[in-house]
């Protein structure tokens, strides 16, 4: 969704609030494609402040399904976004002054671009379905939160692994 800001940009001290809708269906980045499972309309407030500055404020929550870093089960990650931006309206035309912001095109603001940027900066380093997620067996692919597999035992026991190493060394000789 786009919000036209020409009105508020052209008059100093003007404030405007708009209901903003997020249209993003998925968050597509270098990391992959993640479905947006929940989003809500929210209010964006624009204020044309002194010294040719435009402030943009709002708060919303977006829920995105991200696979658990260990077992790959989808985790619903809630992003609580607080938007607090200040754009300089200084310099020639409004359009050139605001070029640095990917969510602005001329005097219109792209809500989805704005939200995308906010999600990107708060993207978690790692996502786990739970702190003690056991992950997936590297050999048979079983989800170890749901089942136990036989290969798991030898692999997880360091003493067994050490013995296996010795066996392997004998074989090589």
Binding site for Zn ion (CB under 5 A): 68, 70-71, 129, 133, 137, 139-140, 142, 149, 151
Dihedral pair phi/psi, residue 96, rounded to 5° = -70, -35
Nearer to Zn ion, 48 or 143 (CB): 143
For residue 122, the minimal CB distance to Zn ion (Å) is 21
Nearer to Zn ion, 25 or 78 (CB): 78
Distance of CA 108 to the CA centre of its chain: 23
CB 84 within 8 A of CB 44: no
For residue 146, the minimal CB distance to Zn ion (Å) is 10
For residue 109, the minimal CB distance to Zn ion (Å) is 37
For residue 43, the minimal CB distance to Zn ion (Å) is 36
What is the rounded CA–CA span in Å between residue 160 and residue 50?
71
Tokens of 1: 């969704």
What is the rounded CA–CA span in Å between residue 50 and residue 41?
29
CB 147 within 8 A of CB 141: no
Task: Count CB-CB contacts under 10 A for residue 141.
Answer: 9
Q: With the CA atoms of 111, 114, 115 and 119 taken in that order, what torsion angle do they form, in degrees rounded to the nearest 10?
A: 170
What is the rounded CA–CA span in Å between residue 157 and residue 145?
18
Nearer to Zn ion, 53 or 139 (CB): 139
Nearer to Zn ion, 3 or 137 (CB): 137
For residue 61, the minimal CB distance to Zn ion (Å) is 23
Nearer to Zn ion, 74 or 110 (CB): 74
């Amino acid at each position: 969704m786009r919000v036209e800001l020409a009105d508020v940009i052209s008059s100093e001290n003007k404030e405007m609030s708009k209901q903003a809708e997020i249209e993003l269906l998925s968050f597509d980045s270098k990391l992959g494609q993640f479905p947006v499972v929940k989003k809500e309309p929210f209010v964006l407030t624009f204020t044309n402040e002194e010294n040719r500055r435009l402030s943009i404020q709002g708060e919303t929550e977006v829920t995105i399904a991200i696979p658990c870093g260990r077992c790959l089960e989808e985790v619903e990650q809630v992003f609580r976004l607080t938007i607090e931006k200040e754009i300089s309206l200084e310099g020639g035309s409004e359009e050139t002054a605001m070029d640095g912001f990917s969510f602005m095109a001329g005097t219109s603001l792209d809500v989805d671009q704005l939200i995308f940027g906010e999600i990107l900066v708060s993207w978690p380093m790692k996502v786990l379905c739970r702190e003690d997620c056991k992950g997936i067996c590297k050999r048979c692919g079983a989800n170890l939160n749901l089942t136990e597999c036989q290969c798991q035992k030898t692999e997880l026991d360091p003493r067994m692994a050490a013995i296996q190493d010795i066996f392997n060394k004998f074989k090589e000789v």
